[in-house]
Structures are given as structure tokens and as C-alpha cells.
């Protein structure tokens, strides 16, 4: 492995960022500095923390940044649920995106457990 870009979880989280930007571009304009901003920051934080963790010496520091990525993923999952409940996202699209973030959460959890051994 040559670094974070080789990690499937990083690649999937980059794809998820792009989807979040596309989806939130259709949100009400009054939400630009509300949930749209929060969702975009949380989404960008996931691959960014993975990259930062892998840019450091393996060990506790890497796990710390992966844990931050996991926290951002959980935050984004919550914001997707809120978006669905407010009617900003159609149910089918919300379910698809929630499935994607759930997969990212599973992958991060597994990676953290592997590194902590």
C-alpha cells in the first residue's frame, strides 16, 4: 500500500463527499449556512482525517485521526436522517446515502480495530 489513496474507505468517502455536494446544492437557500454547511464540513472531514492519519507515524496518532473520521461519519449520518425527516431528501435517495455512510462507518471501525491490535 502506498498511502491513504489506496484505502478503499478513503476512495468511498471521497465519492460520498461529491454526492453530498451534489445533493445539498438542491437544498433550500436559507439552509446554506445551516445544515448544508454542516453536512459538507462533516463529509469533507472524513477523507481528510483518514489522509492526515496516514500521513503520520502509524500507531496511536493514526487511530486518533481515524476515530475523528468515524465521528464525522456519525455526524453526517445524523444530518442525513434530519434532512430526510425535513423533506430535503427524497426517502429513496436518503436511504441510499445512509447505506453508503453506514458502509464507511463499518470500514473505519474495522480499520481502527486492525490498527489497534
Report if residue 46 sits inside a domain.
yes
Per-residue pLDDT, 46: 98
User: Which whole-number Å values give the CA distances from 84 to 8, 35, 64, 76, 92, in the listed order?
Assistant: 27, 12, 30, 12, 9
Domain count, the chain: 1
Asked if the model's pLDDT at residue 86 lies above 60, the reply is: yes
Contacts for 5 with CB less than 8 Å, ≥ 6 apart: 11
User: Which whole-number Å values give the CA distances from 30 to 24, 27, 43, 65, 94, in the listed order?
Assistant: 12, 8, 20, 32, 20
Per-residue pLDDT, 3: 84
Asked if the model's pLDDT at residue 27 lies above 90, the reply is: yes
pTM over 0.75: yes
Asked if the model's pLDDT at residue 1 lies above 70, the reply is: no
Instruction: Express each pLDDT in 88-97 by its tens digit.
Output: 999 999 999 9
| Contact in structure between 7 and 106 (CB atoms under 8 Å) | no
Query: CA angle 37-48-67, nearest 5°?
Result: 100
Q: Could you tell me the CATH number of the domain that includes residue 109?
A: 1.20.1440.60
Report if residue 25 sits inside a domain.
no
Owning domain of residue 72 = 4-17+30-115
Instruction: Express each pLDDT in 30-85 by its tens digit.
Output: 999 999 999 999 999 999 999 999 887 766 888 899 999 999 999 999 999 999 99
Asked if the model's pLDDT at residue 7 lies above 70, the reply is: yes
Amino acid at each position: 500500500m502506498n498511502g491513504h489513496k489506496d484505502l478503499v474507505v478513503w476512495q468511498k468517502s471521497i465519492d460520498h463527499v461529491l454526492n453530498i455536494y451534489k445533493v445539498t446544492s438542491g437544498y433550500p437557500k436559507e439552509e446554506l449556512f445551516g445544515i448544508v454547511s454542516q453536512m459538507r464540513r462533516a463529509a469533507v472531514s472524513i477523507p481528510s482525517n483518514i489522509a492526515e492519519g496516514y500521513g503520520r507515524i502509524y500507531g496511536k496518532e493514526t487511530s486518533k485521526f481515524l476515530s475523528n473520521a468515524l465521528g464525522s461519519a456519525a455526524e453526517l449520518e445524523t444530518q442525513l436522517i434530519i434532512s430526510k425527516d425535513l423533506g430535503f431528501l427524497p426517502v429513496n435517495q436518503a436511504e441510499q446515502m445512509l447505506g453508503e455512510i453506514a458502509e464507511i462507518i463499518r470500514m473505519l471501525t474495522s480499520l481502527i480495530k486492525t490498527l489497534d491490535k
